[in-house]
Amino acid sequence: MSADALPSRSAATSSATSTSAARARTRRRGSPAGGITSPKRGPAALVSYLIILVLFLVFLLPFAWLLLSSVETGAGLNATPTWHFTLANFKAILNVETVYQPMVNSLILSGGTALLTVVCSALAAYPLSRFHLRFGRSFLYTILFATGLPITAVMVPVYSLYARFSLVDSEPATVLFMTASSLPFAIWMTKNFMDGVPVSLEEAAWTDGANWFQSLWRVVLPLMAPGVVVVFIFTFVVQWGNFFVPFILLLTPDKQPASVTIYTFFSQYGQVAYGQLAAFSIIYTAPVVLLYGVLSKFLGGAFNLTGAVKG
C-alpha cells in the first residue's frame, strides 16, 4: 500500500465520523427515533396546557365541593367558600351504626377478597405461565370472556343458589363470590407479571431440591412482589366500591359494608343530607388512599433480574 493512500483513508474516516456525529446531534435535537415529541413552544403548547388545565379543574371541582360541604352548616348542592367551618357533620356520623361497623365490614369483605384473590390467581397463573398446556390458550380466552360478563347477569342464579344452600346473609360466602368475580382479571394480570420472571431462576431452585410450590413461594412471588401488590390494590379498590353484590347477598344491616350504608343519607322523600354525605365520603375514601400510600413503595420496584443466575 502506498504512503499517499494512508492520508486519504484517514481523511475519509474522519469525514464519516463527523457525519455520524452530526446525524446524532440532529436526532437529539429532533424527535427520538422518529417519534413524536411533546410541543414546547407555539400555539400547540398553549392548546395542550389549556386542555390539561380544563381536565385538572374537572377533577378538582368535585373534590373541592366535597371538602367545603363536609365542614359547612346546612350544605347543599351549591357549596360556597366560607370561613365559618364546623365539624358538626363529622360528629353526627361518627358512631357505630353509621361509620365504624360499616367500615369494619368493608375491610373484612374487601381485604378478605383481595387476599384470597391474590392466592388463587397466583396458583392459577403459575401453570399458565410456566407450562405449555394443550388447552392453555382456550382457557385464557375463557377467562377473557368471563371478564366481560356483567355482574347483574349472574346475580339471579347466584342468589337462587345461595338461597338453596342457606348462604344468604353470610359474610364468608359473600367473600367467596366476590373472589370468584375478581379472579378472571386477576389471573390475567398475575400471569403477565409472572412471565417476567425467568424460568432459569426456578431451574436453579429445582437443582437445589425445591419442588414447584417452594420455587413459587420462595423465588417467583418475591421477585414479582410489585405485581402482587398491584393485584391486591386493584382487587381491594374494586371490591371496596362494590355495592350490588353486598346489597343482594347481605340482608342484615349490621353486616352491610359502607358502600351500601352510604345510601342511607338519601331519604325516601328525595331529601339528602349533603353535609353528612360529604363527611362520610371523605372518611370512606381515606382507607383506600392510606392503603396506596403504605404499599406504594412496592410499586416503585422493577423486575431487575439481569445477572441473577451466573454460569
Could you read off the pLDDT of 189-211 as tens digits, one per residue?
999 899 888 888 888 888 888 88
Number of domains in the chain: 2
Q: How confident is the model at residue 176 (pLDDT cuts 50, 70, 90)?
A: very high
Length of the chain in terms of residues written: 311
Q: Do 263 and 210 fall into the same domain?
A: yes
Classify residue 23: in a domain, yes or no: no
Per-residue pLDDT at 79: 65
Q: Do 218 and 285 fall into the same domain?
A: yes
Q: Do 174 and 246 fall into the same domain?
A: yes
Mean pLDDT taken over the chain: 80
Last residue of a domain, one of 64, 86, 108: 86
Last residue of a domain, one of 50, 66, 86: 86
Calculate mean pLDDT across residues 275-279: 88
How far apart, in whole angstroms, are the C-alpha atoms of residue 154 and residue 124?
22
Q: Do 170 and 56 fall into the same domain?
A: no
Q: Do 146 and 286 fall into the same domain?
A: yes
Q: How confident is the model at residue 40 (pLDDT cuts 50, 70, 90)?
A: low
Q: Do 106 and 233 fall into the same domain?
A: yes
Q: Do 211 and 155 fall into the same domain?
A: yes
Per-residue pLDDT at 260: 92
* Site of grid cell 363529622: 90
The answer, yes or no, to whether residue 34 has pLDDT greater than 80, is no
Q: Do 211 and 101 fall into the same domain?
A: yes
Per-residue pLDDT at 48: 86
Classify residue 268: in a domain, yes or no: yes
Classify residue 310: in a domain, yes or no: no
Q: Do 135 and 157 fall into the same domain?
A: yes
Q: How confident is the model at residue 170 (pLDDT cuts 50, 70, 90)?
A: very high
Q: Do 176 and 219 fall into the same domain?
A: yes
Q: Do 72 and 122 fall into the same domain?
A: no
Classify residue 195: in a domain, yes or no: yes
Q: Which of 33-42, 121-130, 254-263 has the weakest average pLDDT?
A: 33-42
Domain that holds residue 59: 42-86
How far apart, in whole angstroms, are the C-alpha atoms of residue 229 and residue 225?
6
Domain of 189, CATH number, reads 1.10.3720.10
Amino acid at residue number 47: V
Whether this model's pTM surpasses 0.95: no
Instruction: Dump the DSSP string for 225-264.
Output: HHHHHHHHHHHHHHHHT--HHHHHH--SGGG--HHHHGGG
* Site of grid cell 454460569: 311
Classify residue 308: in a domain, yes or no: no
Q: Do 292 and 192 fall into the same domain?
A: yes
Classify residue 32: in a domain, yes or no: no
Classify residue 307: in a domain, yes or no: no
